[in-house]
Amino acid sequence: MERRFHTYRYPLSEVLPSLDELARYLHMEDTEHPAYLYMVERLEQLRSSDLEAVGGYVVGRVDSVEVAEGRLAVEGVSFAVGAQVAGYLKEASEAALFLCTAGALFSDEAHALNAAGDFLEAYIIDAIGSLTVERAMDRIHAALAEEQAPLGLKITNRYSPGYCNWPLLDQHQLFHFVGENPTGITLSPSALMHPIKSVSGIIGIGTHCRRRAYGCVICQNKTCIYRRIVQREKAV
Amino acid sequence: MNELLQKLFTCVEFGKINTASPYPPQMRGQEGAQELTQQALAEGIAPSQIMDEALIPAMTCVGQKFTEGKVFVPQMLLSAKAMNAALTYIKPYFSSGEVKRKGTFIIGTVFGDLHDIGKNLVCMMVEGAGWEVVDLGVDASAEKFIEALNEHPGAYVGLSALLTTTMTNMKTIIDKVHEVHPDVKFIVGGAPVSAEFAAEIGADGYAADPQDDIKLLEGFLNA
């Protein structure tokens, strides 16, 4: 059976972070700081643009999950996801392989700003791009959950090549599985996506699948440049 | 400290770029790093003294506050902007040899990895500490590092990676570079990297943050 890519398109105005969210992400609540003023200005400009985030997924039947070997096969295509991700997906009877991009604007602009020595502005536009693509993917993730719920199926977190010991090079397998799609994302020989503000990965689907606490909430990295753990400790 | 240099220190610490910069509000209308550096040079203060007594200590102070979680990336970047405004007037003395750089630091994010924010911060802080920085950007191969070392003999090398799956590329780079430049010293850093991992792959130092890079580089110089 031919695989179908379920496409979702969101105007940037719907998936851009709010000013509060961006300010929290960057630890920037000083409303007179140039970073804050730039955030206000740039978000406003982007909200009125006609650009959009594009993404979606292809759902396939899971043939096998070998946790110890760190392998997962979906409709005859084998993924070397590593033991950790395989463990998280062991209850999956189906899997959604996804792609999503916020577009080339963010990385192109960040690159140009960095080249001009405007590092602060580059940092902010890069952060807006990161949050935007994740927010678009959150919507797609939610749409998948909604689609599966009437069938009595639940979904897992999303996992991406490059993270949780899933080798980045497996990105090639993922793109091969997804096939033709309207996102326009391309892969370099070293498996890096273009546009940079893009995400890809897998979501497990099954009657016993569940979502787990993830990311900054559970991370213990005290030297992360975003200093999340410092904020959590302060909040305790 | 000379009053002018003290003021310059404060401008860099808080990111006051020039008179027109409205930030920080308590310094609005006052001269910034740009004008104070010009003034210091006009008054005959040696460029090396401006570096050693104002600019370098100011960036060290900002780096320390970042390490302690008292400031975050945007504040650091604004300080770097003020520092760069000052450096515009100091840089000609680097080329004339009147101000000596401490050495050269070649840095890049390893091949297979596009994350550059941490690496960019290190570039700014190390440059602010008086080093010449050669930034190879992201997705940098061993060959790129070898080429840069051919151009800058005696340089130290910094490798950055954000992913557990790309930090292993650090070892490939270290091994390949050591085949051509056996004495080169490496500092590695990035979210998933640890001191244990650094030792395991043959790096000479692990930097948890930009201040660590500076301390390690100073250590190499004084060894």
Tell me if ipTM is over 0.85. Answer: no
Among B16, B27, B165, B213, the strongest candidate for a mutation testing the A interface, having the largest count of A CBs within 10 A, is B165
Query: Is the Cβ of A191 closer than 8 Å to some Cβ of chain B?
Result: yes
Cβ neighbours for B36, distance < 8 A, ≥ 6 positions apart: B4, B7, B8, B11, B86
A209-223, B63-77, B150-164: least confidently modelled range? A209-223
Would you state the pLDDT for residue A99?
98
Return the residue matching tokens 């000479």.
Answer: B204
Strand partners, B108: B159
Return the residue matching tokens 């700003």.
Answer: A113
Tens-level pLDDT at each residue, chain A (236 residues)? 578 999 999 999 999 999 999 999 999 989 999 999 999 999 999 999 999 999 999 999 999 999 999 999 999 999 999 998 999 999 999 999 999 999 999 989 998 998 888 889 999 999 999 999 999 999 999 999 999 999 999 999 999 998 888 998 899 999 999 999 999 999 988 888 999 999 999 999 999 999 887 666 656 666 666 655 555 455 54
CA distance B136 to B113: 13
Candidate from B84, B121, B191 with C-beta closest to A224: B191
Cβ neighbours for A117, distance < 8 A, ≥ 6 positions apart: B81, B84
Candidate from B23, B112, B139 with C-beta closest to A34: B23
Do residues A12 and A47 lie in contact, with contact meaning Cβ atoms separated by under 8 Å? yes
**Yes or no, beta carbons of B209 and A223 under 8 Å apart:** yes
Condensed to tens digits (0 to 9), the pLDDT of residues B122-134 reads 998 899 889 999 9
Residue A193 phi/psi, 5-degree rounding, is -85, 145
CA A171 to chain centre: 14
Q: List the domain range (segments joined by +) for residue A97.
A: 5-235
Condensed to tens digits (0 to 9), the pLDDT of residues B133-148 reads 999 999 999 999 999 9
A168: domain CATH number is 3.40.109.40
Query: Is the Cβ of A123 closer than 8 Å to some Cβ of chain B?
Result: yes
**Yes or no, beta carbons of A166 and B78 under 8 Å apart:** no
Nearest one of A143, A57, A54 to A102, comparing CA atoms: A54
Condensed to tens digits (0 to 9), the pLDDT of residues B1-44 reads 799 999 999 999 999 999 999 999 999 999 999 999 999 999 99
Nearest one of A53, A97, A56, A99 to A79, comparing CA atoms: A97
Which domains, and CATH codes, for chain B? 3-96 (1.10.1240.10), 104-222 (3.40.50.280)
Dihedral sign (CA B49, B51, B56, B59): positive
Give chain A's domain count: 1
The one-letter amino acid at B160? S
Would you state the pLDDT for residue A94?
98
Do residues A79 and A174 lie in contact, with contact meaning Cβ atoms separated by under 8 Å? yes
**Yes or no, beta carbons of B73 and A191 under 8 Å apart:** no
Candidate from B69, B114, B117 with C-beta closest to A196: B114
Nearest one of A218, A71, A167, A188 to B167, comparing CA atoms: A167
pLDDT over 90 (residue B159): yes
Among B79, B117, B168, the strongest candidate for a mutation testing the A interface, having the largest count of A CBs within 10 A, is B117
Q: Which two tokens stand for residue B14?
A: 């808080």
Question: In Å, how far is A194's CA from the nearest CA of chain B?
Answer: 11
Query: Is the Cβ of A76 closer than 8 Å to some Cβ of chain B?
Result: no
Would you state the pLDDT for residue A207?
97
